[in-house]
Amino acid sequence: IHSSNWDAAAMANLLDSAARWDLDLDLHIDEELSEVSQGLTWLADHLSRHPFPGHICCSHGCALAAGSDEQAAPILRQLAAHGVTLIALPMTNLLLQDATFGRTPRQRGITLLHEAQAAGVATLLGCDNVQDAFCPAGSYDPLDTLACGLFSAQLSDLFDRQSRLICDRAALTGSPADAAPFAIGAAASVVIFPGSDRFTWPLNSAARLVVNHGRLTHRRVWQEEMAHES
């Protein structure tokens, strides 16, 4: 959904069709630094008049960072009111936004994570293009994405709060059942970082143990990493 091919009628038809067939939506929207992009602006206005019965994820949303706080605030309020999740993609956005050959970029291209969180919008970090024509580098490791977000979006309280940006299943699905807290009696699905601490994580956290429903399903330790690299 981009200003280069914007079509309000197509958007309305998309939401109407998804509602009719009881589908959730994952929208690749406003991946541009343009003050005149219309995707999120239109969506916020449409939802205020036509509530959507399913869950909507909006990835990128770079254009929010190109406008003013006054322009963004009502959009974020509507997204929060209708349970829309906003997903920033720091690696791809840093590489592609404000990109001109031979010129250092002036803008980061990251959507308004802090403002969205303050407005009550569910937020996540993700990665879409990895080692392809759009992004020849990159990584599918969520911790690499979080580390990139740490610096590009100046995130604080990373371990205790912002770690939710890569593991909040309820934000991804919109299902209240996925919002249940981790507690005694709940499914033991965790990732353990034996060589890390809360002050340096997620950096230097390659070693990890993955436990899924109480069973160790994956183990990655430094010795194996070094053997693989050699």
Are 101 and 165 in a shared domain? yes
Residue type, 230: S
Query: What total number of domains does the chain contain?
Result: 2
Residue found by looking up tokens 């349970």 in the block:
83
Indicate whether 43 pLDDT > 90. Answer: yes
Both 83 and 140 in one domain: the answer is yes
Domain holding 95: CATH number? 3.20.20.140
In a shared domain, residues 170 and 189: no
- For the chain, what percent of residues have pLDDT higher than 70? 96
175 and 189 belong to one structural domain: no
Least confident of 68-72, 148-152, 194-198: 194-198
Same structural domain, 136 and 219: no
What global pTM score does this model have?
0.91
Residues 88 and 186 in one domain: no
The residue-averaged pLDDT of 191-198 equals 89
Domain of 196, in residue numbers: 181-230
Residues 120 and 216 in one domain: no
Domain boundary among 163, 179, 195: 179
Average pLDDT over residues 94-99: 94
| End position of a domain, from candidates 164, 179, 194 | 179
Confidence check: pLDDT of 223 > 80: no
Mean pLDDT over residues 124-135, rounded?
A: 89
